[in-house]
Amino acid sequence: MSNKKVYLTNIFSFNCRTNNSEKRAECKETSENAFKLEVTVSRKLAETERAINFDNLKDVLQKNLVKKLDNQYLDEIVPVKTTCENLVNWMWNEIEPYVELMNCQLERVGLWENSTSKAEIIR
């Protein structure tokens, strides 16, 4: 039996709108955002079974996070100010219970705000 862990990463893209103002309640100005989300999970490698099924992980993340956010106004969905760093922390908290139900450990969540800027949480 191996003590190695296997790490698996799924990448998703979604579009949404966020408020541009510090004064969210007063401002109606929104911006369109195209985010890229990277989620990495791990599980101990077992020689007799598949460690992680890519499709199962993808389905869980799509259903419980990506579909909730895609083409939505984030300020009405998430309970935090919609900065990239707040969003990635909120996403971690949202998906970690589902990852644990798959007998996996959430290792990393990265959220690309644009092609050059990313916020990331690493276990």
* Long-range contacts (CB closer than 8 Å, 24 or more residues apart) made by 74-80: 74/16, 74/17, 74/18, 75/18, 75/19, 75/24
- Nearest to 106, CA basis, from 98, 117, 118: 98
Residue pointed to by tokens 């990277």: 38
Percentage above 90 pLDDT, the chain: 57
Whole-number pLDDT of residue 27? 52
C-alpha to C-alpha distance for 38 and 62, rounded to whole angstroms:
12
Mean pLDDT of the region 12-21: 83
The torsion angles phi and psi of 37, rounded to 5 degrees, stand at -115, 130
Q: Summarize pLDDT for 64-118 with one digit per residue, the tens.
A: 999 999 999 988 899 998 889 999 999 999 999 999 998 899 999 999 999 999 9
CATH of domain 5-122: 3.30.479.10
Whole-number pLDDT of residue 32? 82
